[in-house]
Each structure stands twice: as C-alpha cells, then as structure tokens.
Chains A and B, each alone.
Chain A
Amino acid sequence: MEVIESQIDTAGDEYRANYERMQELVEDLKAQLKKARQERSEKAVKRNQELGKLTVQERLDRLLDRNTPWLEIAPLAAKGMYDGKVHGAGTRAGIGVVKGREVLVHANDPMIKGGTVYPMGVKKTLRCQTISMENNLPMLMLVDSGGAYLPLQSEIFPDSDDGGRIFYNQAIMSKMNIPQITAVLGLCTAGGAYIPAMSDHVVHVTGTGAIFLGGPPLVRAATGEEVTAEDLGGAMVHCRESGVSDYFAEDDAHAMQLVRDITALLPTVEKSRVPTRAAKPPLYDPKEIWGVVPKAISTPYDVREILARIADGSEFLEFKALYGPTLVCGWTYVHGHQIGILGNNGVLFSDSSLKATQFISLCDRQGIPLVFLQNINGYIIGREYERGGITKDGHKMVHAVSTATVPKFTVIIGASFGAGNYGMCGRGYSPRFLWMWPNAQIGVMGGEQAADVLVSVKNDQLARAGQPPLPSEMVDNIRKPIIQSAFNEGNAYYSTANLWDDGILDPASTRDVLGLAVSASLNASLEDRNQGHGTFRM
C-alpha cells in the first residue's frame, strides 16, 4: 500500500497556532470529562460511604480487567441540562473488558441525584442497548437508582423511546441471545425492578440492594404498612423466597467478583473475520492532528493529512483518486483491521456522490467496515448542478449509506451541515458509533448561511409587498441571533449533551477509538446480513 506523505510543516506558525487552539479545546474537554466523573456533592459522597457502598469508579475498577481499555459512551450526556449537575445523564456507560470478553457496562451513579433517572438517562440507556444489540455485546448493568425523576416523568414515561422501551429491549435482547447480567447495588424501584427481573443473571448485594415494585413510602401511602427496604426487597428476600435474584453478594466488591465469574462462563463469541494484518502505528504522530486542523471551520484542508495520522503505517490505497476529488475514498488498516474510509475534501458533487455510492457498495459486498470522516458543508447547489441531477446522485449516496449493512463508524471532524450529514452517515443512518471532535459543528446549514437565507427570504417578502429591503442595522439584528443560536445548538457539547453522538474525542485518540470500535463491532456476525439495496434513481 502507498504511504501518505504529509505536506504539513510542523515547524510553521500556522501549525503552531492550530495546535495551540486544538490543545485548548482538548484540555477543556479533558477537564469536562474529569468534572463529569468527579464532581459529586459532599452529602452524596458521605451517604454512599455510610452505606458501605463503593463509588461507581471503584465498582468499574473491580469489574473490569486490569490494564485494559475502557471506551466510555456519552460521558457528557445531559451536560448543561437540568441543573447542570446530572453528569453523564446520571450514569457511567462504556465498553470494557471483563475476563477477556468485550462487554457493555451501564452503571447508575447513586451519587448523582440518588441515581434517579432523567429523560437523557433513558435515552442513554436505550443507546447502550442499541450498541449492545448491534454489536452483540453482553450487557452488564450495575443498578443503583431511586427510579424515575418524578418532576420530569412526562418526558420519561409515555413515548415509544421512553422508559418502557428499556424493558422491551431487554426482552428482545434476551431473544437475540445477548447475555444480560445485573448487579443490584442499591434501589431498583418500580420500573427499575424490571431491569434485574428481565436479566439473565441477577446478583444482589445484601443490606443495600433492594428490588420492589413499590418502595416503602408507596407501601405506606397505599396500605399503611410500615416496612423497611431490606424487608421489602432485600437480598435475603429475593435470593431465598421470591427467586427474583440469583446470586447473594455480601457487598459491592463481592458482587463485582460474582459478575466477573458469571461473565467468564458466558459462551465465547467467535469474532467476525474481516481482513486483518499485524497492527502498526502511523508514521506520523496522531497528536499532529492538533496542528493540522485549521482554526476556522470554513478553511479547507486535505483530509489525507488526517488519514496519515490514523492509518496503520500511514498507508492508504486510494480509490478513484482522480475522479470526484472532493471526496477521498480508499482502503487502509486501523489497528490491524481493514476498513474502507471516506473523507470530505470539499462539497459533494455528482461525481463524488457516484464515487461514494460505488465505494460504499464495494465495501458492503466485501464485508469491509466503513469509516466516515465528516467535514462537509453539503452537496453542491446551483442551476448547473440541479440540471446535472445532483439530487438524484446525492440520493444514490444516501441510499447506499442507508442500506449498507457492514459496520459503519462516523467521526465528525469539522462541519456537518445539511444533507452532507446524511450522505456521510450521520446519526440517522445508524452508524455503529458516532463521535465528534471538539471543534466540530452540526446543523442544517452553517450559521452564516442560515442568517443569509433568512435575510433574503425576508427581503423577498418585503419586495412582494412593494417595500424596500431591510436596512443594514436591521439585517444585523436578524443575523446575529441566528448565528449565535446556530453555534449554541450546533457545537459539539450541545450535540453530545443531547446524545446526538457517543462522545467527543481528542482528535489524537481517533485512531485508537476507531480500532477499539471496529474490533468491538466484530462481536456481531457479518455473515447473516441482509445485504442488497433498493432501487437507484438513474
């Protein structure tokens, strides 16, 4: 395979300026991640200690194999929402290794609002279940939750993708033969009681773990009966009398050991084979990506510079290099796994769309995972292009992306605007995972363009009414809030808070994240895919 030769001057001023700016963004990101993991009220910490419980981090440390990766999912979900303290939507979730087996772990954090479930918490749990199902990863749940956060119950309970869906998914996952192991480490109240109940294995910690449909306050209100949580749904009750729980645990640490033991007994999964070879690092330091990405999102740059810092040995076999040059397509290896990769080098034209369609179709037929590096302002517009059929060529690309059944992975490395988001496998196109870089922006169009469009629509209205166009100060008054809100609602943190993605990445870690994700995705079989596509408009 050919080696990408970087054209970047790592000693130049531009590089240094870019680097410093990205460094700032990454440092901020790391600080946010740290805060989400660590910022807990003193009261909650004290309460947790008094109950003799481990923190979520301590539970994870005991559960996961030592010195193995932990790919956290949506660690900044719900960031800035509610009172700003529902870190990670109240849960820690991620893919880790237990007894050599890749698993999805989902843990309530009782030190955040008593582990109560917020609307974004439901969304995150559902997202984890989707990941578990798509990638055939056993799901380990560490339950410690006071149940739904009642003031927001209307956003949690009734709709198709609300609380009920969690238990529906659990049943479906069971049918799909995806192992589910639950450790009851605190309260599992009402709906929460179904999480263990619907699992294959339930480990129950005595003294702190309790499962009941109605907790003591509800029982008191309904029947006047005075009962303790332990007596109502403790480990002794459920392991000895009701049979709701399967394994009696003395404490959290014991429970984590039991979950590990159970995981070790799960049938082994033969990972799907994709073409592989020995992994090797890129020739260029992935951290140089910091200096490659221009400060302004509108400044174009060659996505091959990113590939050179992601791909094994910086090697890349480019497909149709001379055709449709605004989209770079080709094959490479990441951590030893062959992938087909698509990266934007400008807006999508008819030729680049057709090239993408062919490339995606090739990878799909050959069973090669697809990686999309999104930095796209959309498809080309204008009279000439509409006449050239850009819409039907764009359609082909969107169709191919939609129907491709190989694992797809998307990283938004810059702009993600308009239908470009669709063609390049946005969240709606079911990539197995989607991440953003901290500099990325997402929206129907860029803030500037949106503002221009609105001003021009307004002027059209005025013209139709026979009035003069807007004076320039009025134009500014219209433009400013549009640009501001496009930024506020289009930046990476807004996206990740809303779970439009699975997390924000340090660009330098993109290679490792892709390697981990591709490898994890292979837990699901590639053999019995429903390959093929519908009708292409020609």
Chain B
Amino acid sequence: MFSKILVANRGEIAVRIMRTAREMGIATVAVYSDVDADSPHVIASDEAVFLGEADPSACYLNVEKIVAAAKHTGAEAIHPGYGFLAENPVFAKAVSDEGLVFIGPPAEVMEDLGNKTVARRIMAEGKVPIIPGMISCEADVDRLCSAADEIGYPVVVKAAAGGGGKGMRIVEARKDMAEAVELARSEALTAFGDPTIYLEKCLDRPRHVEFQILADTRGNVIHVFERECSIQRRHQKIIEETPSPALDEDLRERMGAAAVAAARAAGYVNAGTVEFLLDGSGKFYFLEVNTRLQVEHPITEMITGLDLVRSQIEIAAGQPLRFSRQDLTRRGHAIECRIYAEDPEADFMPSPGKILFMRSPEGPGVRFDHGIQTGYHVPVNYDPILGKLVVWAEDRPAAIERMIRSLRECVILGVKTPIEFLIEVLSSEEFKSGNTHTCFIRDNCAAWKPDRGEDALAAMGFVAHEMAAPSFGTSTDESSTKSGPSSPWQTLGAWDLAR
C-alpha cells in the first residue's frame, strides 16, 4: 500500500479523498493555486504544494507541475478526483511514465472511452445497446443534416470529447443545425481542446440511470448498483438518488449486466461509471463511461456501506477486490443534492463571492461533503461547487423528507445557492411520485421564483435590524468590575468625542 498520495484537485472532493487516505494511514499532499492558499483542502492535507496562479492551466490543469509536486514530495500515487485532469489520458500517462501510480483506469482505456464515438463503437461491438446515432465524427453541416434525417429529429449534437453537458446542443429541426454545430464546436474546443462532434437521437424525456463499476487488475468486474441522476440543469446533475424509482430487480439485473459487459469490453480497471438513458418503455441505451470517481458517488456509499475511494486506492495498489457482487447488499434510499454557488433565479449562473456565514446540516443520516467555511472566498476561476449534501433513510419518502429537513438546516450566506430551489423540487408531487426525467426542471420548474412572502420579509427585516444595531464595544477585564446596573462605561468600548 502507498504511504503517501497526492490529490490533484481542490475543494470538497480533495477533502473527501484525504479523509479516506487518513483512515488508511496514508499521508496526503495537496496542491493549490494562489486563490486557494487557505482553502479547506489545503488545511486538510499533511503537506501542500503551491502550483501557481489561479488560472486552471497554471495549476490544477498543469500536468508538469502536478507530477513534479508528486515527485518532490515523494508521493507514490496521484488521485485526480473529478474534473480537471481526472479523465485526461495524457496526464495518466505522464504519471505512470514517471513511475508513479495514477489512481484510475489505464491511460489507453481512458483515451478510448473519452472519445464518445470510439466508445460507442466499442459498446456496439460488445453488444451493449447504444443510442441511435453516429459512431464517427463529422464537421460538415450538410452531412450532419442528412445523418439527422436518418436518425430522426430531434437530435443532440455532442462533443466527442465531451462530458458534463459541455458542447451539447439539442436540434429540433434541420434549419437549426448550422448554428447548433457552430456553438457546440466552439464550446467543445474551449472546454476540451477538441472541437469534434457527432449526432445522437434525442430521446423524449429519458431518465439518466448510471451504474457504478469496480474492476480490479485481476479481471474482477462488478457493479455496485445504480444511481438515477435525472434531475439536471444546464445538462448537469443536481439531484441524484439510489435506488432509481424506475428500476425493478429484473431491469436492474439487465442493466447491471450491460454495465459490466461495457466495462469488460473496454478493458476497464478501477472505479468507473457506465451511464445509460432509460426511456419510458424500459428500453435503455449506453450513454458514456465516466472513467473517474463520480461527484454523486456518496449515495452508493450510503446504501452499500462501501468506501469507493478506499476501493480505488486498493485497486490502484494492485490489490484484488475484497468483495464479490454477491457480498454486496444495499439498504434504504440515498439522495444527494449538489450545492453550487449559483443563482437559480438567473439560469443557475455562477455566483462567486465570500461566504459570510455557513451552518452545516447535521443529524441522523446526514452527510455533508463540502470544501467551504465561513469567510471562505468562492473563486471565480473554478467550478463553483460548494458541497454535496447526502442523506440516507430507510425508504424514498423518508429520504426525501430528510433531505428537505437537511436543506432547511443548511445555511450558506454571502453567495447565492440553489438550496430553496432544491427544496421546491424535492417537495413537488412530480418528484415525490418518482416521475423524474432529464427534462424535469425545464418542464416543472422553469418559472421558479423563491417565495418571498411577507413572513420571510418580516423575518429578514428583523434580522437586518438586529445586525444593523450599533455594536457595543467589548469590555475588558479591567473594566468589568460592575457596580450597579449595566453602564455605557462598560459597554461602549473605546468611545471618544473626537472620533
């Protein structure tokens, strides 16, 4: 087992990985940029290496600097977290070239699966159902149009190197193709450095259901149940749950088997996620493989009791899986809400700034993985995720109520957050009935505005009044000898006429 690992990430996920490392007796190295010098992930580490300026290319995306930091500190392995370099095969290769261990799949697997058209081809060959569409890239609008005619509108323009909803455009009709392609290509170029795109059929209100995969170096591949991540905004998940309300045991078996087959087809090693779209008739299609730890991995941990990061590290260290598929049981229901610094009233645009006050939700079945603190400045430079609130309860209704309760306990002031919005979604009859799909927010919450009733206004007025009240100076020990009633001589502090 490693004695020291470097975590090439920041924020809540870096903190989360370091926690497991600490439990395993592994020392941790953090890396940071100048805006993150006092971030919780730096504080959580055993040692920290400064990378450079805030711009991601100078720090968390800088392969050379990160590998050098690992060499310098004597770290034996690098955990990439999610985002940044997590799915970058060049990085994975650079790490192994330096004789270090990359905690994730091999670079070539990553490269294959990272290209969506290649991945689709592999899956098709492995008899995994794929979404009708192209299995190669195309830049010519006319040819794209004729492909779309074949697939049938609406279609989705997707970046081959894509992920996280970037470089994705839905095209309803032929006339919109040129513009969508243009936008998707430029977005893909900015986000992934690769403008290539392809087309897929756009399914009507599908669910997003994904399977957690664990594969060791000995050829053992298992799935650790599903996660449903249908509630999305801007093509990004914000509420995830497991088990999916749409799966029965039979479907779960079939999809799980497909996921394992997909992993085997790709020669997958370490933790990964096979994503499917599931339509209303119970048909499912391969979407993509995420070759990393998912943001929403904690809900799987909650229902199985596993520590997926521990599994990742053990697999990377060459150890076999410590359990088989049959050993795994799941219990209860888990939900995760992502809490970003973003404005749900303004199309979820990022809302960076200083966190003036925060209070974590607590209590039974609550897990809050976050990387913030009161006084923390949410930088503009990175993904504005603040934390992930995860709850577990015995069944779905109880988990929903627990999540609502926890969200109400969660206070983050100073930046905008979707907390109120999340409560609204969770409280809706549609969500409670399990009728979730990837267009849920568009269909049900498009015109959402926070309820600014008079009660809330009155409460805010009261708080503002209390906060605006003149603050009394602190009395020193020397002046605290009181005789008689409280006196401004003891409460006014360093008061002076001339001030």
> Which chain B positions have C-beta within 8 A of A97?
478-479, 489
- Chain B residue at minimum C-beta to C-beta distance from A34: B498
Q: Assess whether B497 is in contact with A72, with CB atoms less than 8 Å apart.
A: yes
Q: What residues of A have a CB within 8 angstroms of the CB of B481 in the complex?
A: 99-101, 268
B363 close to A (CB within 8 Å)? no
A234 to B487 Cα, complex, angstroms: 41
Q: Indicate if the CB atoms of A276 and B488 lie closer than 8 Å.
A: no
User: Could you tell me if A67 and B498 are in contact, using CB atoms closer than 8 angstroms?
Assistant: no
Using known A-B contacts A278-B486, A515-B488, determine if residue A75 contacts B497 with beta carbons closer than 8 Å. Answer: yes
Which residues in A have their C-beta under 8 angstroms from that of B495?
68-71, 512, 516
- Taking the complex as formed, is A156 at the interface, i.e. its CB lies under 8 A from any CB of chain B? no
Q: When the two chains form their complex, are residues B496 and A69 in contact, meaning their CB atoms are under 8 A apart?
A: yes
Whether B474 is near chain A, meaning CB under 8 Å from some CB there, is: yes
Does A69 lie within 8 Å of B484, measured CB to CB?
Answer: no
**CA separation between A161 and B148, bound complex, in Å?**
107
* Selected contact of B476 from candidates A66, A271, A336, CB within 8 Å: A66
* B476 contacts A69, C-beta separation under 8 Å: no
Let me know if B491 is at the binding interface, CB within 8 A: yes
- Check if A68 sits within 8 Å of B488, measured CB to CB: no
**A512 engages B484 (CB within 8 Å):** no
Within 8 A of B (CB), among A492-506: 503, 505-506
Instruction: Name B467-499 residues within 8 Å CB distance of A.
Output: 469-470, 473-476, 478-499
Known: A33-B498, A99-B478. A279 touches B484 (CB 8 A): no
Chain B contacts for A71, CB-based, 8 A: 495, 497
Which residues of B lie under 8 Å from residue A270 when comparing CB positions?
483-484
Beta-carbon contact of B489 and A520 below 8 Å: yes
Point out the residues of chain A lying under 8 angstroms from B486, CB to CB.
276, 278-279, 336
CA A515 – CA B475 in complex, angstroms?
Answer: 16
| A37 proximal to B (CB < 8 A) | yes
Contact yes or no, B489 A516, CB < 8 A: yes
CB distance from B402 to the nearest CB of A (A): 40
Q: Which residues on the A side are within 8 Å of B465 (C-beta)?
A: 283
Most buried by B among A65, A276, A506, A513: A65
> Do A68 and B489 touch across chains, with their CB atoms under 8 A apart?
yes
> Do A273 and B485 touch across chains, with their CB atoms under 8 A apart?
yes
Whether A512 lies near B488 (C-beta < 8 A) is yes
Of the candidates B474, B475, B496, B498, the one having the most CB atoms from chain A within 10 angstroms of its own CB is B498
With a cutoff of 8 Å between Cβ atoms, the chain B residues found around residue A522 in the complex are 484
Given A67-B474, A67-B475: A271 touches B483 (CB 8 Å cut-off):
yes
Determine the chain A residues whose CB is within 8 A of the CB of B492 once the complex forms.
Answer: 68-69, 512, 515-516
Give a binary string over A447-458; 1 marks a CB under 8 Å from any B CB, 0 the rest. 000000000000
Q: Contacting A70 at CB < 8 Å: which of B470, B482, B484, B496?
A: B496
Residues of the B chain whose Cβ atoms lie less than 8 Å from the Cβ of A72: 496-498
Q: Mark A267-299, 1 if CB is under 8 A from B, else 0.
A: 011111100101111010000000000000000
Q: Establish whether residues A100 and B485, one from each chain, have CB atoms under 8 Å apart when the complex forms.
A: no
Shortest Cβ distance from A436 into chain B, in angstroms? 12
A101 and B489 CA atoms in complex are apart in Å by: 9
Give complex CA distance A276, B485 in Å.
7
Closest to B498 in A: A33
For the complex, give the distance between the alpha carbons of A466 and B488 in Å.
66
- Selected from B470, B479, B484, the residue in CB contact (under 8 A) with A281 is B470
A47 within 8 A of partner (CB): no
Question: From A68, which residue of chain B is reached at the shortest CB distance?
Answer: B479
B487 contact from A65, A269, A509, A519, Cβ within 8 A: A519
Once the chains are docked, how many angstroms separate the CA of A34 from the CA of B481?
31
Q: CB within 8 Å of A: which of B279-310?
A: none
Expressed in whole angstroms, the minimum distance between the Cβ of B462 and any Cβ of chain A is: 12
The distance in angstroms between the C-alpha atoms of A512 and B495, with both chains bound, is 9
Considering residues B470, B475, B489, B490, which has the most beta carbons from chain A within 10 angstroms of its beta carbon? B489
- Contact status A30-B498, CB under 8 Å: yes
Chain A 95-109 near chain B by CB (<8 Å), digits 1 or 0: 001011110000000
Bound complex: CA of A506 vs CA of B479, how far in Å? 26
**Which A residues touch B497, using CB under 8 A?**
33, 70-72, 75, 503, 505-506, 509, 513
Bitwise, A254-274 to B at CB < 8 A (1) or not (0) is 000000000000001111110
B480 and A271 contact, CB distance less than 8 A: no
Interface residues on A, range: 35 or more
Contact with B along A55-71 (1 / 0, CB 8 A): 00000000001111111
Using CB atoms, name the residue of chain A closest to B474.
A67
User: How far is the CB of B422 from the nearest CB of chain A, in Å?
Assistant: 36
- The complex places the Cα of A276 from the Cα of B482 at a distance, in Å, of 14
1/0 contact string of A27-39 vs chain B (CB within 8 Å): 0001001100100
Interface membership of A337, Cβ < 8 A: yes
Shortest CB distance B465–A (Å): 8
Contacts of B474 in A (CB 8 A): 67
Interface residues of B in 112-145 (CB under 8 A from A): none
Complex: A71 Cα to B496 Cα, angstroms = 6
Which residue, B470, B484, B497, has most C-beta atoms of chain A within 10 A?
B497
Residue of chain B at shortest CB distance from A520: B489
Instruction: Judge if A335 is at the interface, Cβ distance under 8 Å.
Output: yes
Q: Are A519 and B483 in contact (CB under 8 A)?
A: no
Residues of chain B within 8 A (CB-CB) of A101 are 481
* A505 closest partner in B (C-beta): B497
Given A97-B479, A279-B491: A67 touches B473 (CB 8 Å cut-off): yes
Quick one: closest A residue to B493, CB to CB?
A67
Q: How far is the CA of A441 from the CA of B487 in the complex (A)?
A: 32
* Given A75-B497, A509-B497, residue A69 in contact with residue B488 (CB < 8 A): yes
Closest Cβ of chain B: how far from A315's Cβ, in Å? 15
Q: Are A69 and B485 in contact (CB under 8 A)?
A: no
**Beta-carbon contact of A66 and B485 below 8 Å:** no
* Cα distance A515–B473 in the bound complex, in angstroms: 14
CA distance A119 to B95 in the complex (A): 87
Which chain B residues lie closer than 8 Å to A519 at the CB level?
Answer: 487-489
Contact: B485 with A336, CB < 8 Å?
Answer: yes
Alpha-carbon distance A486/B497, docked complex (angstroms): 27
Give, as a whole number of angstroms, the nearest-CB distance from B357 to chain A. Answer: 22
B498 with A335: CB separation less than 8 A: no
**Chain A residues within an 8 Å CB radius of B482:** 100
B484, A102: Cβ atoms closer than 8 Å? no
Check B498 against A75 for contact (C-beta < 8 Å). Answer: yes
Report which residue of A99, A279, A280 has the largest number of chain B beta carbons within 10 angstroms of its beta carbon: A279
Return the chain A residue nearest B487 by Cβ. A519
Minimum CB–CB distance from A94 to chain B (whole Å) comes to 8
Interface centre among B481, B484, B487, B491 (most CB of A within 10 A): B487
Name the residue in B476, B479, B486, B493 with the highest tally of chain A Cβ atoms < 10 Å from its Cβ: B479
Can you name the residue of chain A whose Cβ is closest to the Cβ of B486? A336
- When chains A and B are docked, how far (Å) is the Cα of A336 from the Cα of B485? 8
Residues of A within 8 A of B483 (CB): 268-271
Q: How far is the CA of A335 from the CA of B465 in the complex (A)?
A: 18
Determine the chain B residues whose CB is within 8 A of the CB of A273 once the complex forms: 484-485
* CA A67 to CA B496, docked complex, whole Å: 10
CB distance from A281 to the nearest CB of B (A): 5
How far apart are the CA atoms of A471 and B407 in the complex, in Å?
A: 85
A311 to chain B, nearest CB (A): 14
**Contact for A69 among B470, B478, B493, CB less than 8 A:** B493
Cα distance, A503 to B493, chains bound together (Å): 21
Chain A min CB distance to B169 (Å):
48
Question: Would you call A516 and B488 a contact (CB within 8 A)?
Answer: yes
Docked pose: A437 CA to B127 CA in angstroms: 90
Chain B nearest CB from A80 CB (Å) reads 18
Which 9 pairs from chain A and chain B are nearest by CB? A271-B484, A100-B481, A69-B495, A276-B485, A515-B488, A33-B498, A65-B478, A335-B488, A519-B487
The interface of chain B, by Cβ under 8 A from chain A, is 465, 469-470, 473-476, 478-499
17 pairs from A and B in contact (CB 8 Å cutoff): A30-B498, A33-B498, A37-B498, A67-B479, A68-B479, A68-B490, A69-B489, A75-B498, A100-B479, A268-B483, A271-B483, A271-B484, A271-B485, A278-B486, A279-B491, A519-B488, A520-B489
Supplied contacts A68-B495, A515-B492, 9 more A-B pairs, CB within 8 Å: A66-B476, A97-B489, A273-B485, A281-B470, A336-B485, A336-B486, A512-B495, A520-B489, A522-B484
